[in-house]
Chains A and B, each alone.
Chain A
Amino acid sequence: MRGLTFDIAHMLAGSLVLVSFIQLYQDRLSALINVFALHALVLAASVAWQAFIQDAPHLYLTAMIALGFKAIIIPVALHRIIVKLGIHREIETVVGVGPAMLLGMGLVALSMVVMLRVTADADPLAREDLAFALSVVLLGLLMMVTRRNAVSQVIGFMSLENGLVLAATGAKGMPLVVEISVAFSVLIAFIVIGIFLFRIRERFDTVDVQALDRFRGERQ
């Protein structure tokens, strides 16, 4: 398993952790969405590489979902939503970049210690993948608790979920990965629609979608 295939898988999974860190210190929503698109892109590359080295064609489907849905459709939709709600220039008060990064590093160290120790017997690719995946999951959780805006919480959740997909594809031969990633996509679609309705309610005092049409009509 050692050699170039291993190194590339390692690099892609590591980049995912790196992009998670980049997400942590984004304080503008539109920049955050762009970084999330990058996150999904790296995930798609990583899953595709796993599909190639495991010779598991169904994983290409998961990679396609990550690419099409999470790297393109969701970011575009979120950009439109924040523009429509007028929060695209909003600067969020994050828990300070310094402490957040320190906490993040602590979490990564924690997941390395836990996962590498308990998976001593597993094959090296799987165990390091798992350690990276847990880091991404924990960084996603950290993001969800350090943000107050619904949109950035959702982005935290989606990057958490990217970590899960990484773990699932790293577990060689795991069945139902495609089904699970589809189930998650449905969940995320619901969440995004949810934010939309929720925020509209906050702004216009109704969730009636017609209110939105009325609002649009006023602007034109």
Chain B
Amino acid sequence: MIDALGGVLLIPALSAALLAALPGYKLTARLNVLAAFLTFATAVSLFVVQPQSGPYLLVDDLNKVFIVLTTFVGFTTSAFSASYIGHEIAIGRLTPTYVRFYHSMYQVLMFAMNLALVANNIGLMWVAIELATLTTVLMVGIYRTHEALEAAWKYFILGSVGIALALFGTILVYMAARPVIGEGLSAMVWSVLVTHAAMFDPALLNVAFVFLLLGYGTKVGLAPLHAWLPDAHAEGPTPISAVLSGLLLNVALYALLRFKMLLALNPAAIAPGPLMVTMGLISCVFAAFMLYKRRDIKRMFAYSSIEHMGIIVFAFGMGGPLANFAGLLHMTMHSLTKSAIFFAVGHIAQVKSTQKIADMGGLTVTNPVLGWGLVLGVVAIAGLPPLGIFMSEFLVVSSTFSRQPLLVLILVFGILVGLGGLFLRLNNIVFGEPVGPTAPAQASYVPMFAHLAIVAMAGIYLPPALVTGFQNVARLLG
């Protein structure tokens, strides 16, 4: 019997094979959307009927949230991608063969991310994250320009080192678990590890966590391990930038959170919080300053992603039900907002046929829907009230201020610096004299405004069911 758990893996896997076999971009783009929608629907059904967890796959409150978010953004991005790719074919930047490859890889990426999220085995999770890295490397390099290949190469080497370190950490966790649980498969299974974590050798766990933090932290894009991220975002196709920022970073973060839970259960191990707080703060402040000098629009929003991942890791590092809740909310809001921004940016770059900020201008006059969409997105991402990110950032700050006022001040400083940088650049892009081509965009605005509508609504009203769900997860995270 295939339950919903199998569904979120099988649908992308089968569609990847199907899309690789079918010619014609119009058909495959639609099938891609359909497959992504089916995966999303299956993921939602996890809330209705919770399937049984096995030694390889697992569903609990924590990963349900991640899976639904991943499949939802995966679905909307596929809809954006359909109109984006249409334009790329029209101008001859991509050939039909590459588009076929692209759609197939898109589904492989969905499969890999879902597998990483539902894996009940730390080895399987590692393999899934490696697969996700490989597929995104291929997609980043798909334009085959010199810059794209260089970005892909850089991403590849840094990502490989990251996952190699993560594997070393995984082996160490197994070594710590083996004397307690015994040899074999069960010493790598989450649900077993968690129940025995208190008896593990704390020293081994400590070293393991350092490796895992460095390894998966590279994939989260934490400074100073972030060097691959801006290049990969800037040079790949924009739908992939949206998926990278909105989803893949979250998946790596999810892996980190799982291991954090393991350490938290062992009273003698180091507290993982301070390490995460430090890296989060460094990323947030560093990326905020980097926003000022950006000339490439996608690169700028890539730095903004580093900043927000820093805030999220800070919140989870502080821990406690409230800060975890805030971190979870911020992660959700960031995924939705950042992918919406990339949807806008993708079409803007197509209209202007450049990514250079200097060659853009006056978008609100020439392409009002796109321009104001971007303004709304940037207002949201900068954390202005009353939108969702304001609310989640406010929660992060208020839930941690009483415990670490000094650290929170640094965080707020980073957020404010980032806000300044974003608006400075936004001003150049959307206001002032129109610069460059002004042709109307062949765009589907639905995904972008759907995301922004959710973010705007979340700033004013959060459904009680969502709040209870997030509270459960926050308690689980400890």
Chain A residues within CB distance 8 Å of chain B? 114-115, 117-122, 126, 130, 133-134, 137, 141, 144, 150, 153, 157, 160-161, 164, 167-168, 171-176, 179-180, 183, 186-187, 190-191, 194, 197-198, 201, 207
Chain B residues within CB distance 8 Å of chain A? 121, 123-124, 126-127, 130-131, 134, 137, 144, 146, 149-150, 152-153, 156-157, 160-161, 164-165, 167-168, 171-172, 174-175, 178-179, 183-185, 187-188, 201, 203-204, 206-207
Contacts known (A118-B206, A198-B153); A175 close to B188, Cβ less than 8 A:
yes
- Smallest CB gap from A208: residue in B: B144
Q: How far is the CB of A218 from chain B (nearest CB, A)?
A: 23
What chain B residues lie within 8 Å of A176 (beta carbons)? 121, 123-124, 127, 188
Instruction: Decide: A137 and B178 in contact? CB cutoff 8 A.
Output: no
User: Can you report 12 residue pairs joining A to B where beta carbons are below 8 Å apart?
Assistant: A144-B161, A157-B161, A171-B175, A171-B178, A172-B178, A172-B183, A173-B184, A175-B184, A194-B153, A198-B153, A201-B149, A207-B149
What chain B residues lie within 8 Å of A122 (beta carbons)? 175, 179, 201, 204
What chain B residues lie within 8 Å of A201 (beta carbons)? 146, 149
What chain A residues lie within 8 Å of B126 (beta carbons)? 180
What chain A residues lie within 8 Å of B134 (beta carbons)? 186-187, 190
Name the one of A120, A121, A180 contacting B123, with C-beta atoms under 8 angstroms: A180
Chain A contact residues, majority secondary structure:
helix
User: With A and B bound together, what is the CA distance between A55 and B183 in angstroms?
Assistant: 13
Q: How far is the CB of B350 from chain A (nearest CB, A)?
A: 24
Q: How far is the CB of A20 from chain B (nearest CB, A)?
A: 15
- Smallest CB gap from A121: residue in B: B201
Instruction: Decide: B175 and A130 in contact? CB cutoff 8 A.
Output: yes
What chain B residues lie within 8 Å of A190 (beta carbons)? 134, 137, 156
What chain A residues lie within 8 Å of B127 (beta carbons)? 176, 179-180, 183
Q: How far is the CB of B124 from chain A (nearest CB, A)?
A: 7
Interface centre among A187, A190, A191 (most CB of B within 10 A): A187
Extra contacts, 12 of them, besides A130-B175, A137-B168 (Cβ < 8 A), are: A118-B204, A121-B179, A130-B172, A137-B164, A144-B161, A164-B164, A164-B167, A167-B168, A173-B183, A176-B124, A191-B156, A194-B152
Instruction: Decide: B123 and A179 in contact? CB cutoff 8 A.
Output: yes
User: With A and B bound together, what is the CA distance between A78 and B15 in angstroms?
Assistant: 35
Q: How far is the CB of B165 from chain A (nearest CB, A)?
A: 8
Instruction: Decide: A118 and B207 in contact? CB cutoff 8 A.
Output: yes
Name the one of A118, A119, A134 contacting B168, with C-beta atoms under 8 angstroms: A134
Instruction: Decide: A119 and B204 in contact? CB cutoff 8 A.
Output: yes
Q: How far is the CB of B117 from chain A (nearest CB, A)?
A: 18
User: With A and B bound together, what is the CA distance between A121 and B127 in angstroms?
Assistant: 29
Instruction: Decide: A160 and B164 in contact? CB cutoff 8 A.
Output: yes
User: With A and B bound together, what is the CA distance between A173 and B130 in angstroms?
Assistant: 23
User: With A and B bound together, what is the CA distance between A143 and B168 in angstroms?
Assistant: 18
What chain B residues lie within 8 Å of A173 (beta carbons)? 178, 183-184, 187
Instruction: Decide: A171 and B164 in contact? CB cutoff 8 A.
Output: no
Q: How far is the CB of A157 from chain B (nearest CB, A)?
A: 6
Q: How far is the CB of A14 from chain B (nearest CB, A)?
A: 19
User: With A and B bound together, what is the CA distance between A201 and B174 in angstroms?
Assistant: 42
User: With A and B bound together, what is the CA distance between A157 and B165 in angstroms?
Assistant: 11
Instruction: Decide: A168 and B171 in contact? CB cutoff 8 A.
Output: yes
User: With A and B bound together, what is the CA distance between A93 and B103 in angstroms?
Assistant: 43
What chain A residues lie within 8 Å of B185 (beta carbons)? 175
Contacts known (A157-B157, A160-B164); A171 close to B203, Cβ less than 8 A:
no
Instruction: Decide: B207 and A114 in contact? CB cutoff 8 A.
Output: yes
What chain A residues lie within 8 Å of B124 (beta carbons)? 176
Q: How far is the CB of B139 from chain A (nearest CB, A)?
A: 13
- Smallest CB gap from A207: residue in B: B144
What chain A residues lie within 8 Å of B174 (beta carbons)? 171, 174
User: With A and B bound together, what is the CA distance between A90 and B201 in angstroms?
Assistant: 48
Instruction: Decide: B188 and A194 in contact? CB cutoff 8 A.
Output: no
- Smallest CB gap from A188: residue in B: B160
User: With A and B bound together, what is the CA distance between A146 and B232 in angstroms?
Assistant: 24
Instruction: Decide: B144 and A160 in contact? CB cutoff 8 A.
Output: no
User: With A and B bound together, what is the CA distance between A168 and B146 in angstroms?
Assistant: 37
Instruction: Decide: A191 and B171 in contact? CB cutoff 8 A.
Output: no
User: With A and B bound together, what is the CA distance between A172 and B177 in angstroms?
Assistant: 11
Instruction: Decide: A119 and B188 in contact? CB cutoff 8 A.
Output: no
User: With A and B bound together, what is the CA distance between A118 and B175 in angstroms?
Assistant: 11
What chain B residues lie within 8 Å of A126 (beta carbons)? 175
User: With A and B bound together, what is the CA distance between A190 and B153 in angstroms?
Assistant: 11
User: With A and B bound together, what is the CA distance between A176 and B172 in angstroms?
Assistant: 14
Instruction: Decide: B171 and A167 in contact? CB cutoff 8 A.
Output: yes
Q: How far is the CB of B235 from chain A (nearest CB, A)?
A: 14
User: With A and B bound together, what is the CA distance between A67 and B433 in angstroms?
Assistant: 64
User: With A and B bound together, what is the CA distance between A180 and B167 in angstroms?
Assistant: 9
Q: How far is the CB of B174 from chain A (nearest CB, A)?
A: 5
